[in-house]
Structure 1
Amino acid sequence: MKVIASLVLFTICSTTISAELLTNTGFESNMTGWTVSSSNGSVASSTTANSGSKSTKFETTDYSSPYSAYIYASQSVAYDNSTEYTFSIYARDNWSNGGQPMANAVTLRIEYYNASSTLLRADQQLFSLPKDYLWHQYTFTSTQIPAGTAIVKPVFGTTQDSQWQKSVLFDDASLTGVVPIVQEPHTGDLNGDLFVNFSDYSQFANGWQISTDEVDLYDIADNWLAEYCEPLAIVSTLQTVQQYSPVFFDINSVSAFSNPYNPDDISIDIIFHSPDNSQITLPCFYVSGNSSASKWQGRFTPQQTGQYSYQAKVYVNGVYEGYSPISSLTVTESSGNGFIHKNPDSYYFWKYDSGKAFRGIGENVAWDTRSYNNQMYPYEYMLPMLGNQGCNFVRIWLCEWNMPLEWDTLGRYTASASQRLDAVFALAEQNGISLLLTLNTYSEFKSIKNIWGTGDDWVRNPYNVTKGGPCATAASFFSNATAKNFYKKKLRYFIARWGYHTNLGVIEFFNEVDHLYADGDASVPAADIVSWHDEMSTYLKSIDPFKHLVTTSFSYKWMPDLWNVSNLDFTQTHPYGTTDNTYSTITSFENNFSKPYVMEEFGYSWESAGTSSNHYLFRRELHMGMWRGMFSPTPVLPMVWWWENLAYYNDWDVFAATANFSNQITADSDGFLTSLAVNAGTGMEAMGVQTIGRMYVWLRNKTSSTISSATLTISGVQNGTYEVAYYNTWLGTYSSPSTITVTGGVLSAPIPSLTADGDMAFRIVKTGI
């Protein structure tokens, strides 16, 4: 081994999650163990519980402005040397009458005191509470514990900051900490820093400098390393893991670097040998520390069952420098589904690793609540609400104003944005939602304001030469070799940190990239945009061990050459206005480019979210667009924009009724679905799909008057008996099924009376010969 002085060593992860630190967490003993403070409020026990038989009820009753009633409950626990604490609680409204969520209805706070009971610091987060009579979990993590902490006091409660009283139920509180494991001194830890690393080796090697035989010195050093090196290892509880479940690898390194985010400077990979003998390279990412002692992490989700072997390797300045001993990981079968991939057999669905079909339904929630927007619609409100309606797919941007991963400094990644994205992934997973993440939007490369007075972001873009970047113009971003190299490094970091998430459904390079060549000031040659996407998608596919779906998007003026890039898995545009042409738009793209199409944005208008006087038009187009998409060959139903406005008007019922029927089709079909020709007579818009033994039909009255006594006719069906159920597409309810017998290959079913522009659906199931 010729590069002893540069060898990197690894140590085992040294933290664990504490046991529950609170008592009476479910309030089964009322408020025993809790200290309550209040102003104009009352506390009582309730039999409406998230779990167990009781919860606690907080009611504020302040009738005089300024409104300042509050109720807080706390417990004091001894500091246990944790490096961070996570405090969570379940809450639900108790006086629900629908309408907007209650702002600041849930307060979570962690206070730190020294031994003299002097407050050192208080960390707090406020949450909105939906008025839906449902339990919602709220979680808050506090890090960087103040020096001198002796007492930790978690506090929860509610405040009244308007004329409206609040009545909130709380249940199942929890406080846990991340506690360092005190490691016993290691025989090879010569300098007493609890790590066996190059510093110890140097101390050891100094005693052998009198040797004139360099080969002997290397042999002695190798023996010492073999005896005392602690191997790369996962936490012991995860030496066996279920298929499609994540496992983390904590790595300690003593290799020198200047910028740990620059893989040309330093990079660490874990090499896996899979049960089928294939090799997987997992990029790892920097967590903390300096060039003399740094911590890295690898995040892996195994897709095969059986025995994996793995070994970490480090490269400095592009040169291989060292490795860890080989270790093993056992993966057992699970009921999970894994990652979402292309489906070679159908444009109606994508397919999980497990083979199960996936069809997306959801909307854009492109950014979190901003300071000048309505504060009631953060991801903590929107994602649970969508999940509760049966939705499973959401589009989110990473941009200057929303989790900007690389905006302050080129080549350095923003910790706060990364931590927020970690939390959003966890929140989405809790609510059964897969994410389409958009890495860039066109406005980041524009210098002229849009119709909303924003969008001139190039002046602040870190790729701009005036901000220290390599690009003299926005257009050169797509051709400048240095800029492309920086972007690839960001892609590597993205995969290393978040690629393991099975609910990372799609990686999208750009939102509406056509604005950079079709209009405005950027004037990027179309050929450069195509070439850039070809290069970046090829690179991304080469470093992504989980093979996520990859795409980009256009607004209205697409480039055929771009959609012919083989590593862009599906096409996307953003058609606004009427959704009458949904089916023809979808099939036209698919016929032209031989890959699926997704209507990634749509809505009644692209210019504004509308007003109370015309919101019914937005609501109608939301409904029609999703139902037309459901009966079109697309793996994701059309995704509406204007999410805050739809939430404000409580249009959740539109999502719920649509998702109920769409998810039924997915469950029934098991990934096999084809179009079905149906006839409902003059004046009816009619669409149909079918799978083995089942047919589904959507009808809309296109006329301006009620249609009565119409008949649905489907030819070419097998003879036998069929159960027909009508579905109310607005209420989400089925009628009692009726039985129809087919003897001549033609099914005829009466259509209930449909008012002008009214619509309905059928579910038809073959029940007998």
Structure 2
Amino acid sequence: MKKSIIITSLLLCLQVNLFAQIQKVTLLNLKPSTFKKAEFDIKLIAEWVNPYLQEDVSLDMLITSPSGKKLLLPCYYENGKSGKMSLWKARFAPQESGTYRYTIKLFKSGKNVSTTKPAAFTAFQNNGKGFLHVKNNWIMQFDNGAPFRGIGENICWESRANDDSRFYKELHENPKYNYEYMLRSLADHGGNFYRTWICSWNLPLDWKSGINNNRYTNSDEYFNPSAIQRLERVMKLSDSLGVYTMLTLGPGAYLEKDGGNVKSAADFFVKPEAKARYKNRLRYIIARWGYNTCIANWELFNEIDNVQFGDKDNPIDASVIVKWHDEMSTYIKSIDPYKHPVTTSISHRDLAGLNSLSNIDINQKHIYKNTDIIPETIVKYETEFKKPYVIGEYGFEWDWSKNFDDFASDMDRDFKKGLWYGLFSPTPVLPMTWWWEYFDNRKTDVYIKKVRTIYDQMISAGEGNFKTVKVQTSNPGVRVMAVECGKKIFIYVLNNSSEKQDVIIFIPRPTTSPKVFDCEKGTYQTVQSTDKNIALKAIGQNAEIIIVAD
């Protein structure tokens, strides 16, 4: 009897291996280079129920870099049928030049059933900057050491088929507001960073129907082909324009009514089947798009506290949500060979423990109707939690039922002020305004060029080093912020009073012939200074100027 059981088991193993074999691996790039996609076609035969579920079938490339680093790269299913020849893909962006060695392993039900012989390829050095990583509270840094600060805005979705705005429905439905137009406009204005969403009406990766956007088609496929194609396009466009994205992944179509496997948001955070589904979604996204250097951050959730209080009478336990974030951020780090920084966001309610998670690299919140608290908020959170803090959304008004034209000048002024506050605060990404269509329509977003002028000088002067400097003013109605970059001190002056002001700025060291940049006109003038004092005459109401002192 025992011999019969052993023989049967051996036959089953042989049968599994017979129908689970990697047949051929082809590197499509003749000359792979650093920070560019090296793409592999992998042909194999395996049986599965769903090739997107790693608990069913999965494929990993195990890579040893030229310096000896061990990397795990998840691969993804492209096409083919169970039990027949199928095509899988590996997309890898080398971060070092030299010879890489690799093997590819096929797993069935979590067990390794086929492994390729060791192979190698050589990556040549190019002049790319590489992937972004957290350097400190002020900046991110590319693989090549170049400093980076994000300056831009939210461009969270393209125009919808049906918008629910009371006053701006026509504006928000205008097909002009697509990535091709908006990202080019952002780059033309000097922006280098934007935040965008995967959701039911934009890049609807795992939605099959109910998509409020004419750019996508309904599909019974596990991942929506039209969303895949659009996200491919967005990545290529971003890369060509030199703009970087905070990609908000969101929960996906997790509810049963949308094709998911749980009945509620509360179940999403605790049910094993929901967590397994989400990890498979993460795995696919990282396998397919993780090689893109234009992805600056993975953002797990938009305003997770609003999800927590979706049912205000029965909120989800914060500890459950925090535990989920810990698990998912840790999982991302285990399968992302490039170690993209991870973030998530709150609206206004902190969740105990969320800001302290070791694999959340950047903490984030959104501030509306209170832009003046941005500098203090950033410093407060960074002091307490010892990691960078970002204001992922801000604005004079959040209520889309109001007519913004009734207070358009306040909207514009708030837009400009928020950018300057960010530039002079220790944050790697300047605060990002909401209402991108509105500000494009008013041409307000052209103002990013003015901020970029000083941004570039700061980066150049200090080679990415920033230091907050305490300066004083003779007038309490004037707000002053200062940053030292190398041998230069940059001073932001805002007249918050209702009258013109004569102001003396007291700086920590003598300066000769400091230059004053008019933030509205974008022009410079030289002013006189006496020892450590800089005298400014008749600063207008709500006027902003930048002093550049050597």
TM-score, length-scaled by structure 2: 0.89
Q: 2:108 & 2:319 partners in 1: Cα distance?
A: 35
Matched, 1:688 2:478: no
| Equivalent in the alignment of 1:89 | none
| Equivalent in the alignment of 1:431 | 241
Q: CA deviation at 1:660?
A: 2.0
Q: CA deviation at 1:756?
A: 1.3
Q: 2:29 & 2:287 partners in 1: Cα distance?
A: 22
Matched, 1:299 2:84: no
Q: 2:40 & 2:306 partners in 1: Cα distance?
A: 42
| Equivalent in the alignment of 1:748 | 533
Q: 1:667 & 1:393 partners in 2: Cα distance?
A: 19
CA contact (8 A) 2:461 2:487 kept: no
CA contact (8 A) 1:410 1:469 kept: no
Equivalent AA in structure 2 for residue 389 of structure 1: H
Matches within 5 A, 1:87-102: none
Equivalent AA in structure 2 for residue 288 of structure 1: N
Matches within 5 A, 1:465-484: 466=257, 469-484=260-275
| Equivalent in the alignment of 2:150 | 360
Q: Which runs of 4+ in 1 moved over 6 A?
A: none
| Sequence identity percentage | 34
Q: 1:651 & 1:525 partners in 2: Cα distance?
A: 41
| Equivalent in the alignment of 1:44 | none
Matched, 1:588 2:380: yes
Matches within 5 A, 1:611-622: 611-622=404-415
| Equivalent in the alignment of 1:729 | 519
Other structure's SS at 2:238 match: helix
Q: In 2 relative to 1, CA 243–400 (structure 1 residues): closer, same or farther, beyond 3 Å?
A: same
Matches within 5 A, 1:282-681: 282-291=73-82, 292-343=84-135, 346-372=136-162, 373-408=173-208, 412-440=222-250, 461-464=253-256, 466=257, 469-518=260-309, 520-521=311-312, 523-608=315-400, 610-681=403-474
CA contact (8 A) 2:207 2:258 kept: no
Unaligned runs of 5+ in 1: 12-231, 445-460
Unaligned runs of 5+ in 2: 1-9, 163-172, 209-218
| Equivalent in the alignment of 2:65 | 274
Q: In 2 relative to 1, CA 389–467 (structure 1 residues): closer, same or farther, beyond 3 Å?
A: closer
Q: What do residues 498-522 of structure 1 show as CA deviations (whole Å, max 9, x unaligned)?
A: 1101111111111111013345356
Q: 1:326 & 1:722 partners in 2: Cα distance?
A: 65
Q: 1:236 & 1:638 partners in 2: Cα distance?
A: 39
Cα-Cα RMSD: 2.2
TM-score, length-scaled by structure 1: 0.64
Q: 1:278 & 1:589 partners in 2: Cα distance?
A: 34
Q: 2:270 & 2:373 partners in 1: Cα distance?
A: 37
CA contact (8 A) 2:20 2:44 kept: no
Q: What do residues 85-116 of structure 1 show as CA deviations (whole Å, max 9, x unaligned)?
A: xxxxxxxxxxxxxxxxxxxxxxxxxxxxxxxx
Other structure's SS at 2:371 match: coil
Other structure's SS at 1:749 match: strand
Other structure's SS at 1:245 match: coil
Equivalent AA in structure 2 for residue 354 of structure 1: N
Q: In 2 relative to 1, CA 579–236 (structure 1 residues): closer, same or farther, beyond 3 Å?
A: closer
Q: 2:534 & 2:265 partners in 1: Cα distance?
A: 60
CA contact (8 A) 2:207 2:259 kept: no
CA contact (8 A) 1:463 1:483 kept: no
Q: CA deviation at 1:470?
A: 3.3
Q: What do residues 435-483 of structure 1 show as CA deviations (whole Å, max 9, x unaligned)?
A: 1011116xx8xxxxxxxxxxxxxxxx5433x556432332111110111
| Equivalent in the alignment of 2:55 | 264
Q: CA deviation at 1:566?
A: 1.2
Equivalent AA in structure 2 for residue 516 of structure 1: V
Equivalent AA in structure 1 for residue 355 of structure 2: W
CA contact (8 A) 1:349 1:359 kept: yes
Q: 2:528 & 2:542 partners in 1: Cα distance?
A: 28
| Equivalent in the alignment of 2:168 | none
Q: Number of aligned pairs?
A: 513
Q: 1:411 & 1:437 partners in 2: Cα distance?
A: 23
Of 13, 16, 22, 1:9 maps to 22
Other structure's SS at 1:360 match: coil
Equivalent AA in structure 1 for residue 69 of structure 2: S
CA contact (8 A) 2:56 2:110 kept: yes
Q: Which has the higher contact order (CA 8 A, sep 6+)?
A: 2
Other structure's SS at 1:322 match: strand
Q: CA deviation at 1:326?
A: 2.6
Q: What do residues 592-645 of structure 1 show as CA deviations (whole Å, max 9, x unaligned)?
A: 211111011110001027433321111100001110111111111110001111
Q: 2:523 & 2:151 partners in 1: Cα distance?
A: 18
Q: 1:236 & 1:407 partners in 2: Cα distance?
A: 33
Other structure's SS at 1:267 match: strand
Flag the structure with higher helix content.
Answer: 2
Q: What do residues 382-411 of structure 1 show as CA deviations (whole Å, max 9, x unaligned)?
A: 100000111111000100111111223999
CA contact (8 A) 2:254 2:268 kept: no
Q: In 2 relative to 1, CA 476–270 (structure 1 residues): closer, same or farther, beyond 3 Å?
A: same
Q: 2:293 & 2:284 partners in 1: Cα distance?
A: 17
CA contact (8 A) 1:6 1:322 kept: no
CA contact (8 A) 2:190 2:449 kept: yes
Q: What do residues 8-45 of structure 1 show as CA deviations (whole Å, max 9, x unaligned)?
A: 2343xxxxxxxxxxxxxxxxxxxxxxxxxxxxxxxxxx
Equivalent AA in structure 2 for residue 580 of structure 1: D
Q: CA deviation at 1:752?
A: 4.3
Q: 1:624 & 1:7 partners in 2: Cα distance?
A: 60
Equivalent AA in structure 2 for residue 348 of structure 1: W
